[in-house]
């Protein structure tokens, strides 16, 4: 079974803090993704990565950055957290052979609250 | 641009009744379509996907979906609802840049 793990289930931070969300997958997948999930808005793509050290902006990259130094690990960084970044953050990975039809495998999510 | 629209943010059905969750898509190219499910306090998992083979796609837990090009629809059905089906369901479409565009989700409530 593919396993995608996220470093924290719940996180509380203060406005202006730098926040790191970590994601690790154990199936040697090429692609990794970060989404945020908000009620009534579904999932929105923040950033994704097709390979180590590669990254591409998704639909809502503002206020976020990412890092992928190793194939299995994809980090989401909030340089200066703000209250409007309070949300559920979901990491996903996929094999990468045929991206348009690949199944994405999701982690359990990190619920971030910024006070 | 590719997009999906899920009709109904909340759907309630009685246990044992038919489940029908509606999804319409918009795509400028032949679409690849997905249904994902999110159980409480979990991430999403794939229920089924359409990749241009059979138009009737069977998935896990007794769910199936039918691709109807003429109606631009990919509705999800299950003949008999079970309490364990209570979850949030997301329809999604692949876009031309190899990303997946998710709908806003439909929360399914099962009434005893």
- Locate B48 and state its tokens: 């089924």
Choose the closest CB to B102 out of A43, A100, A107: A43
Measured in angstroms, the CA of B80 and the nearest CA of chain A are apart by 26
- Percent of the residues in chain A that have a pLDDT greater than 90, as a whole number: 84
pLDDT at residue A106 in the model: 96
Chain B interface with A: residues with Cβ < 8 Å = 9, 32, 34, 36, 41-46, 49, 51, 90, 94, 98-100, 102-105
Per-residue pLDDT reduced to its tens digit, A15-48: 999 999 999 999 999 999 999 999 989 999 999 9
The closest of A16, A113, A111 to A63, measured between CA atoms, is: A16
Q: How far apart are CA B53 and CA B101, in angstroms?
A: 21
Per-residue pLDDT reduced to its tens digit, A43-53: 999 999 998 98
Instruction: Say which residue the tokens 């953050």 belong to.
Output: A89
Per-residue pLDDT at B98 exceeds 80:
no
For residues B87 and B108, is the Cβ–Cβ distance under 8 A?
Answer: yes
Per-residue pLDDT at B52 exceeds 90:
no
Per-residue pLDDT at B41 exceeds 90:
no
Measured in angstroms, the CA of A58 and the nearest CA of chain B are apart by 8
Per-residue pLDDT at A97 exceeds 80:
no
Q: How far apart are CA B46 and CA A105, in angstroms?
A: 8
Subunit contact A90:B46, Cβ cutoff 8 A: no
pLDDT at residue A99 in the model: 67
For residues B11 and B67, is the Cβ–Cβ distance under 8 A?
Answer: no
Distant-in-sequence, close-in-space partners of A57: CB < 8 Å, separation ≥ 6: A47
Subunit contact A104:B44, Cβ cutoff 8 A: yes
Per-residue pLDDT at B49 exceeds 70:
yes
Subunit contact B99:A45, Cβ cutoff 8 A: yes
- Percent of the residues in chain B that have a pLDDT greater than 90, as a whole number: 79
- Percent of the residues in chain B that have a pLDDT greater than 70, as a whole number: 97
């Amino acid at each position: 079974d593919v396993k995608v793990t996220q470093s924290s289930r719940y996180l509380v931070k203060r406005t202006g803090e730098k926040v790191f969300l970590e994601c690790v997958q154990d199936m040697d997948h090429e692609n990794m993704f970060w989404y945020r999930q908000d009620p009534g808005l579904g999932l929105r793509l923040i950033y994704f990565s097709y390979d180590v050290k590669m990254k591409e902006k998704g639909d809502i990259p503002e206020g976020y950055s990412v890092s992928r130094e190793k194939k299995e690990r994809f980090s989401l960084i909030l340089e200066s957290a703000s209250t409007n970044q309070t949300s559920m953050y979901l990491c996903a990975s996929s094999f990468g052979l045929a991206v348009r039809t690949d199944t994405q495998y999701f982690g359990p999510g990190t619920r971030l609250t910024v006070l | 641009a590719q997009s999906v629209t899920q009709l109904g943010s909340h759907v309630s059905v009685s246990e044992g009744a038919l489940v029908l969750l509606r999804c319409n898509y918009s795509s400028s190219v032949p679409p690849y379509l997905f249904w994902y499910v999110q159980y409480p306090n979990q991430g999403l998992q794939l229920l089924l996907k359409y990749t241009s083979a059979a138009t009737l796609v069977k998935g896990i837990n007794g769910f199936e979906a039918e691709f109807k090009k003429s109606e631009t629809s990919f509705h999800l059905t299950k003949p008999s609802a079970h309490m364990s089906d209570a979850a949030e369901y997301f329809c999604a479409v692949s876009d031309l840049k190899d990303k997946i565009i998710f709908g806003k989700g439909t929360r399914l409530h099962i009434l005893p």
